[in-house]
């Protein structure tokens, strides 16, 4: 009589449509498998974008693994490559993943996005409990009272300006937890780079801010003055950026002789930032990567509430000497002056010296 084959669909490694990794690697079957890791349910995080916000949502994983260690953690996002591989299931937002999510029952769905598509997805998924934001009468809405403060800061600038909580603190409170300085989580491959810096401290200078938020764009003249001060001190300036900053960084490298290695894939960019001893950046993906890699950071902020940024005691926020008049505006609307032009190279350099490890 043929022995009946069994399988454990509640195992962390079980996929269903293809063999699991332990079977492919060791040839094991589900009966008496030493790799059997039973999971009693599923938790879904919905955090689609932007990429910096996805990065600074990863501290939640520490608490989820602590409180729900017997549950699978799923995450749907527009940026799957930035998430740590320790997450059980990472899904890119597309029609295939939406179909799968809408036909899977979850214990908890945590939606931390107020965008229409994220809220609509939350509304459409079957779950025993939902946290964060959903869709009501066709509009984004807080699910419960814990999500209301974060919801209100997104509606009214005056309320946002009065906020004293960091983003990680806000999202922990939405989930009913206390933020205890849990760190960002980022995977890093550290074999890509060998930088000939002559043992000088590497100061990473992330010069851009993308096309949308030009109100944060630091003038070339400020970068040039800063680079010269860095070089005079005996540090090693390393220009950082993506394809949008390529020509700017080529120009700055030509004028100052600072090192510019080019723009790279996300994996290589993370690895390059990891080579820095300190990073200077406006609020952008690179700043969140630096924080996640536990690098000292000089964060240049003009249009946001500085309380929202958690630096974990490893950096300093530098702001304009003239107050920003266009709060949360992608483009400067002040006809009298652009506040980003009043972030001085001297102030940035003082912050570098103050926060650079000996």
State the CATH number of the domain containing residue 149. Answer: 3.40.50
| CA dist list (Å): 319 to 143, 292, 305, 334 | 35, 22, 11, 17
End residue of a domain, out of 127, 157, 174: 174
Residue 165 sits in the same domain as residue 221: no
Contact 106, 30 (CB under 8 A): no
Whole-number pLDDT of residue 358: 64
Looking at the predicted structure, is the pLDDT value of residue 1 above 60?
Answer: no
49-87 tens-digit pLDDT:
899 999 999 999 999 999 999 999 999 999 999 999 999
47 shares its domain with 133: yes
Q: Do the domain assignments include residue 98?
A: yes
In a domain, 10, yes or no: no
CATH number at residue 276: 3.40.50.2000
Q: Does residue 31 lie within any of the structural domains?
A: no
CA distance 106 to 130: 9
Does residue 156 share a domain with residue 295? no
Same domain, 54 and 154: yes
pLDDT band at 26 (very low <50, low <70, confident <90, very high): very high
Write out pLDDT tens, residues 284-317. Answer: 999 999 999 999 999 999 888 899 999 999 999 9
For residues 223 and 344, what is the distance between their CA atoms, to the nearest angstrom? 9
pLDDT of residue 209: 80
Cα 152–chain centre separation: 22
pLDDT at 210 over 90: no
Exposed / middle / buried, residue 216 (Cβ in 10 Å: 0-12, 13-18, 19+): buried
Residues of the chain by 3-state class (helix, strand, coil), percent to 5 = 35, 20, 45
Instruction: Please count the structural domains in the chain.
Output: 2
- Residue bearing tokens 């690697």: 25
Domain assignment present for residue 56? The answer is yes
Nearest to 209 by CA among 281, 265, 262: 281
Does the residue 8 lie in any domain?
no
Answer yes or no: do 253 and 153 share one domain.
no
Could you tell me the residue range of the domain that residue 89 belongs to? 41-174
Residues 229 and 104 in one domain: no
Burial letters 285-314, b for 16+ CB under 10 A, else e: bbbbbbbbbebbbbbbbbbbbebbbbbeee
Please check whether residues 103 and 211 belong to one and the same domain.
no
| 245 and 333 assigned to the same domain | yes
**Which of 174, 193, 225 marks a domain boundary?**
174
Q: Which residues lie across from 91 on neighbouring strands? A: 76
The least confident of 136-145, 329-338, 343-352 is 329-338
Q: Is 80 exceeded by the pLDDT of residue 330? A: no
Residue 18 domain-assigned (yes or no): no
Q: Which of 59, 294, 78 is nearest to 171 (CA)?
A: 59
Q: Is residue 21 part of a domain?
A: no
Residues 209 and 348 in one domain: yes
pLDDT classification of 3: cutoffs 50, 70, 90: low
**Contact, 30 vs 38, CB < 8 A?**
no
Say which residue the tokens 């996640």 belong to.
Answer: 292
Between 167 and 331, name the one with better pLDDT: 167
In a domain, 26, yes or no: no
**Same domain, yes or no: 277 and 336:** yes
Give pLDDT tens digits for 161-192.
999 999 999 999 999 999 999 999 999 998 88
Do 153 and 279 reside in the same domain of the chain?
no
The closest of 197, 158, 151, 186 to 287, measured between CA atoms, is: 186
Comparing CA positions, the residue from 172, 225, 177 lying closest to residue 346 is 225
Q: What is the pTM of this model?
A: 0.92
Mean pLDDT, the chain, as a whole number? 93
Q: What would the mean pLDDT of 275-280 be, rounded to a whole number?
A: 98
* Structure confidence by residue, pLDDT tens digits, 94-130: 999 999 999 999 999 999 999 999 999 999 999 999 9
Q: Higher-confidence residue: 339 or 252?
A: 252
Q: Are residues 232 and 339 in the same domain?
A: yes
Local structure of 317: helix, strand or coil: strand
């Amino acid at each position: 009589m043929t022995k009946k084959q069994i399988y454990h669909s509640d195992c962390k490694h079980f996929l269903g449509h293809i063999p699991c990794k332990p079977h492919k690697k060791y040839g094991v079957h589900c009966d008496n498998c030493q790799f059997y890791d039973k999971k009693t349910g599923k938790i879904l995080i919905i955090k689609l974008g932007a990429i910096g916000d996805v990065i600074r949502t990863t501290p939640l994983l520490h608490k989820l693994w602590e409180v729900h260690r017997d549950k699978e953690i799923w995450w749907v996002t527009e940026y799957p490559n930035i998430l740590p591989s320790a997450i059980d299931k990472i899904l890119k937002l597309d029609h295939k993943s939406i179909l799968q999510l809408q036909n899977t029952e979850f214990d908890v769905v945590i939606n931390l996005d107020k965008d229409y598509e994220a809220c609509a997805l939350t509304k459409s998924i079957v779950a025993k409990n939902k946290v964060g934001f959903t869709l009501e009468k066709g509009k984004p809405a807080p699910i419960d009272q814990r999500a209301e403060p974060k919801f209100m800061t997104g509606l009214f600038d005056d309320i946002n300006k009065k906020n004293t909580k960091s983003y990680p603190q806000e999202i922990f409170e939405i989930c009913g937890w206390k933020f205890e300085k849990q760190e960002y989580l980022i995977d890093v491959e550290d074999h890509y780079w060998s930088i000939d810096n002559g043992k000088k401290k590497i100061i990473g200078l992330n010069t851009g801010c993308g096309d949308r938020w030009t109100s944060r764009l630091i003038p070339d003249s400020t970068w040039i003055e800063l680079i010269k001060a860095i070089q005079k001190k005996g540090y090693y300036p390393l220009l950082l950026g993506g394809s949008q900053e390529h020509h700017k960084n080529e120009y700055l490298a030509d004028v100052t002789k600072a090192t510019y290695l080019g723009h790279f894939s996300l994996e290589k960019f993370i690895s390059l930032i990891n080579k820095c001893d300190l990073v200077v950046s406006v609020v952008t993906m690179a700043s969140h990567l630096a924080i996640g890699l536990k690098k000292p950071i000089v964060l240049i902020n003009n249009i946001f509430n500085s309380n929202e940024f958690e630096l974990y005691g490893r950096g300093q926020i530098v702001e304009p000497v003239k107050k920003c008049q266009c709060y949360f505006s992608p483009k400067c609307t002040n006809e009298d002056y652009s506040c980003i032009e009043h972030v001085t190279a001297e102030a940035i350099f003082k912050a570098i010296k103050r926060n650079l490890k000996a």
